[in-house]
């Protein structure tokens, strides 16, 4: 079973060092410490385990080190920055593993950009040696890229010519859409195994600057200090510690403090339940800081994030998830109001951004989600985002009309999807008036009101409820899992596309196709044959 | 060998009728007239042959019938509008055939929307009976959808639940992005085999109106006349005839009047050459009308369009295409100036829109294109779009500096890509000043100037030329064809995404993935098992 929690004390592949406002995150992959013993992580190549540490490091810098305003991403290996995803690992992996691996690495790189765009942490990739494939894609996620000019070190995306697959972590998209490398130059670059170095790399905007070896370290340090001056983060720590989640894991359940994931493997379904906060809750930034990682909003969403990641990787056959909430709706709304009122506080901002990223992880999880809204539930404000993110929501229209949902300011802006819109804006695409109207609604919505306002999919009455929701889940769980993945990936992201949605839509979908093709993964496919004797044999038909 | 030219006199599946400003295009598919004898086209289901006629009909309405301002799309079969793409045909088809079939049908539906958006021809889908899958996707491409309310006729997208694949012709995208059906309702609808009818179909905006059988025809006729009043097309004909292209087809060559496609199947390459006009050219709308389909701009682009379609379907292994132009550059520029000056003329507008669509077809062709710009070439204005559309361009830097390219007003606006930008805007993404600068440049660019301005990829000198271009083509033709398709599909469409790019990026890429998966096309896959004994067996892993 793969788990996603780690801590710098236990990192095997990265070193995290702090010097005032600048942190340095150095890759130093241990060859023999891959997640599986089948491959050696040579030349700073990586597998999911390496990327889990990277994701953890970025998260901790955000929460535990508010004094950090710039991060240098570099390598401790001589003349090697990073050789990208480990090819032997990819070759031996199932299709599903490859897809989930790429999804997680993509989310991690987008989290770097999120920290830069919204948290005031700038990233400088200091490429002290060869930087290939996923290594360059990591650099592309940083704000600036410095490359050593030693006559040897180049940036490259050799996946297509060498392995017959695409660079799978946003490289093609970022090259043309973020760095705005001309598409014809990008075409040439992406088919050039040896990559591009020196002055040409700068001219084509593949990197920002190159420096001779003798000047490289100083130039990086100087630039990192400059980047660090542009932040609105606090000048000093401390931050808050992100302690272990310590879920109770049994055969069929992962139970956290506020989140429970119960698996029904025989039915290929699961129940995911989130508890509203209980007891007194912080209402000022000071109190939130004092509560630290035990503050419900952070704790519950960290648990949800962890549950989603475990589900994706460890339970591939569990395809249909019923989402429920329980507890005090008013307590959720009170926390939402606190969060909305104090978004200028660095920690509140980080918590809200974390909630946003977790909900995006939900959007991007290739499982069906149905929200069941029943009496006693707490689908209010930020928790109602789960119902909006679900593929459908079923709300019991109870005779007493006590079953309600509610909105908060958190539904009106901070928790945007990858497409740049809120879930309400995406739901009511082009109907901004209606979005404003539901947000202005006073008090909760009962089932009839929620149905009328289009906030839930269906509102069966007590007579129909049991049958309707049972049949819905059973029917869903019986459909082709691939068709459901494709369906959801198309319907969930109405409206504008962004670089982020392009990476998960266009790029990922093409990569998944290629990962399925005999030209890559057949016995004579390029990915299979690489590093072994013989050359790939292709079916030459273009499609 | 599949050919794409046809004429209403030879249609087997559609009837085209005219009544003043309203044309009626009625589907009446001949069961036994499929492209292959392996399947029967029951219930107005279609194969590529049916769609070729549809594409032809729309083209002819545009050019041959300027007096038509609205088109009713309906069926002559009792209680059946259209059952969608023929499932037996899909089941028996290769992956490549399915992909090319979907691409062509998508282009045809987008051509309907192009006619509505830009030509002043409105489309009314008159659904006189069941309308499933691709049938509903055709309706979605129309401006408005009327459905008969007979207690039986429904619209549906049953592909996912029934066949384990996606609706492949833009259905999912148009439901949420064009008709703005709520994503949760769209999710429910897209998993409901029997579809949705009557009042609910209107409430969910799946159709615009429903009418009882007794009122249906009148309501359709009345609405079509209303829609026809909103056009800026001429009040009367005649238009111009689109005569057969009559290429000379030999073993290794398709030779038209201005376009030649020469195949080198052993090398998996082809040469595509376009001749500039010769002799006197029309310079007024009146003269263009008189020249009709022999006017170079229309003739050359019709030929190019036909060559691209034949290449896609008949020559799947020919993966790398060298594009050349020949002749009088000034003649192309003169025609461009004429076209740009008279875009308010209905025929000029149609010709320019046709050029735009053909260039989009080029962008969407899953082959590598390299433009070779050599002395004697005519890469000017609209023909230079081919160099901009190519994955790379190589321009010989001749000692005499006689090899030149040139821009025209046609590079500055009318020939937009699917992403809504011109090819220059896409090439110089976010650098509008540079776009303006190159467009303002007086006279042609020699190789050094073109290279400096970023208008060509490489400008080798005479010593390097032969080796460099030879190696470029050979290397390209040796890469995995799937990786090249994915690479190009990502790099060609930098910048914003539109509904159109979403259909060809996100939707198509996911569909191609699903079309490759055992859950659809394996021996027990849903698409294979459909209509036969037994139920599909799925690998339940979600990816």
* pLDDT (0 to 100) of residue B543: 85
pLDDT of residue B392: 98
Nearest to B542 among A191, A367, A457 (CB): A367
Which residue shows structure tokens 């109207």? Answer: A437
What are A500-536's pLDDT values in tens digits?
999 998 889 999 999 999 999 999 999 989 888 788 9
> Is the pLDDT assigned to residue B237 strictly greater than 90?
no
- CB within 8 Å of chain A, chain B residues 314-333: 316-319
Which pLDDT belongs to residue A31? 96
A200 CB within 8 Å of a chain B CB: no
- How large is the average pLDDT for residues A171-180? 96
Q: What percent of chain A has pLDDT over 70?
A: 100
pLDDT of B258 higher than 90: yes
- Which pLDDT belongs to residue A532? 83
The confidence score (pLDDT) of residue B279 equals 87
Please list, in sequence order, all residues whose beta carbon lies within 8 angstroms of the beta carbon of residue A442, skipping any fewer than 6 positions away. Answer: none
**B150 near B141, Cβ under 8 Å?**
no
What does the pLDDT look like over B453-470, one tens digit per residue?
Answer: 999 999 999 999 999 999
Would you say residue A47 has pLDDT above 90? yes
Confidence of residue B533 (pLDDT cuts 50, 70, 90): confident
The whole-number average pLDDT for the span A193-212 is: 97
CB contact B471 to A (< 8 Å) = no
Question: pTM of the entire structure?
Answer: 0.96
Gap between the Cα atoms of A115 and A129, Å rounded = 25
- Which ipTM value was assigned to this complex? 0.95
Q: Give the number of A-B residue pairs with CB atoms closer than 8 Å.
A: 290
Strand ranges inside A133-258, DSSP E = 144-148, 154-156, 196-197, 209-211, 248-250, 253-255
| pLDDT on residue B531 | 81
List the 485-504 stretch of A: residues with Cβ below 8 A of B.
Answer: 485-497, 501-502
pLDDT of residue A97: 94
A168 pLDDT more than 90: no
Closest CA to A4 of A95, A108, A84: A108
**Are B457 and A392 a contacting pair at CB < 8 A?**
no
Averaged pLDDT for residues A377-387: 98
Beta bridge partners of B434: none
Mean pLDDT of all residues belonging to chain A: 96
CB of A251 less than 8 A from some CB of B:
no
For the stretch B291-295, contacts whose Cβ atoms lie closer than 8 Å and that sit 24 or more positions apart, written own/partner, are B292/B240, B292/B241, B293/B63, B293/B240, B293/B241, B293/B242, B293/B243, B295/B351
Q: Is A506 an 8 Å CB contact of chain B?
A: yes
Chain A hits for B180, Cβ within 8 Å: 429-431, 494
What pLDDT does residue A201 have? 98
Please give the pLDDT value at position A543.
85
pLDDT tens string B273-298: 999 999 889 999 999 999 999 999 99
Residue B182 has pLDDT above 90, yes or no: yes
- Nearest Cα to A481, choosing from B522, B519, B166? B519
Q: Which of B99, B187, B517 sits opposite A391 (nearest CB)?
A: B187
Residue B370 contacts residue B484 (beta carbons within 8 Å): no
Tokens of A290: 């004092």
pLDDT over 90 (residue B248): yes
Minimal Cα–Cα distance from A502 to chain B, Å? 8
Q: What is the pLDDT of residues B363-409, one digit of tens each?
A: 999 999 999 999 999 999 999 999 999 999 999 999 999 999 999 99
Please check the confidence at residue B168 and state whether its pLDDT lies above 90: no
The reply to whether A180 touches chain B by the CB within 8 Å rule is yes
Q: What pLDDT digit, counting tens, does each position of B313-340 carry?
A: 999 999 999 999 999 999 999 999 999 9
Structure tokens at B122: 């409105």
- Judge whether residue A153 has pLDDT over 90: yes
% pLDDT > 90, chain B:
95
Q: Answer for the pair A57, A7: CB distance below 8 angstroms, yes or no.
A: no
pLDDT tens digits for range A258-289? 999 999 999 999 999 999 999 889 999 999 99
A471 touches chain B (CB under 8 A): no
Contact A182, B455 (CB under 8 A): no
> Using one digit for the tens of pLDDT, what is the confidence trace for B52-97?
999 999 999 999 999 999 999 999 999 999 999 999 999 999 999 9
């Amino acid at each position: 079973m793969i788990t996603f929690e780690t801590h710098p004390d236990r990192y095997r592949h990265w070193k995290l060092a702090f010097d005032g406002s600048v942190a340095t995150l150095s890759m130093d992959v241990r060859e023999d410490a891959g997640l599986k013993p089948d491959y050696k992580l040579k030349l700073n190549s990586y597998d999911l385990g390496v990327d889990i540490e990277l994701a953890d490091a970025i998260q901790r810098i955000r929460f535990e080190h508010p004094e950090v305003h710039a991060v240098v991403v570099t390598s401790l290996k001589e003349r090697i920055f990073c050789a990208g995803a480990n090819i032997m690992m990819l070759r031996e992996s199932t299709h599903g593993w490859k897809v989930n691996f790429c999804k997680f690495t993509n989310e991690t790189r987008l989290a770097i950009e999120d920290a830069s765009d919204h948290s005031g942490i700038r990233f400088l990739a200091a490429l002290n040696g060869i930087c290939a494939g996923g290594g360059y894609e990591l650099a592309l996620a940083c704000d600036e890229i410095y490359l050593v000019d030693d006559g040897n070190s180049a940036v490259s995306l050799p996946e297509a010519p060498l392995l017959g697959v695409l660079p799978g972590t946003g490289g093609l998209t970022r090259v043309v859409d973020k760095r705005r490398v001309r598409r014809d130059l990008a075409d040439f670059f992406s088919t050039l195994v040896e990559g591009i170095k020196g002055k040409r790399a700068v001219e084509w905007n593949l990197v920002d600057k190159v420096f001779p070896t003798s000047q490289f370290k100083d130039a990086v340090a100087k630039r990192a200090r400059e980047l660090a001056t542009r932040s609105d983060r606090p000048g000093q720590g401390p931050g808050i510690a992100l302690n272990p989640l310590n879920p109770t894991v049994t055969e069929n359940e992962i139970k956290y403090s506020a989140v429970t994931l119960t698996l029904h493997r025989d039915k290929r379904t699961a129940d995911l339940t989130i508890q509203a906060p209980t007891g007194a809750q912080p209402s000022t930034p000071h109190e939130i800081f004092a509560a630290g990682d035990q503050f419900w909003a952070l704790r519950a969403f960290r648990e949800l994030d962890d549950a989603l990641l475990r589900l994706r990787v460890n339970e591939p056959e569990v395809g249909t998830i019923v989402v429920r909430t329980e507890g005090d709706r008013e307590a959720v709304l009170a926390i939402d109001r606190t969060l909305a009122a104090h978004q200028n506080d660095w920690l509140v901002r980080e918590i809200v951004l974390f909630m946003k990223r977790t909900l995006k992880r939900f959007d991007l999880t290739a499982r069906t989600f149905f929200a069941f809204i029943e009496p006693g539930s707490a689908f209010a404000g930020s928790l109602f985002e789960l119902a909006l993110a679900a593929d459908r929501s079923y709300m019991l229209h109870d005779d007493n009309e006590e079953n309600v949902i509610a909105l908060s300011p958190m539904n009106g802006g901070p928790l945007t999807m990858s497409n740049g819109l809120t879930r309400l804006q995406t739901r009511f695409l082009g109907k901004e008036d209606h979005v404003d109207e539901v947000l202005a609604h006073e008090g909760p919505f009962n089932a009839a009101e929620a149905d009328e306002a289009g906030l839930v999919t269906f509102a069966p009455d007590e007579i129909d409820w049991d049958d309707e929701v049972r049949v819905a889940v059973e029917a869903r769980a019986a459909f082709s899992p691939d068709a459901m993945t494709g369906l959801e990936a198309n319907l969930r992201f109405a409206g504008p596309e962004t670089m982020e949605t392009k990476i998960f839509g266009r790029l990922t979908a093409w990569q998944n196709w290629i990962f399925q093709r005999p030209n890559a993964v057949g016995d004579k496919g390029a990915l299979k044959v690489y590093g072994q004797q013989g050359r790939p044999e292709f079916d030459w038909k273009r499609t």
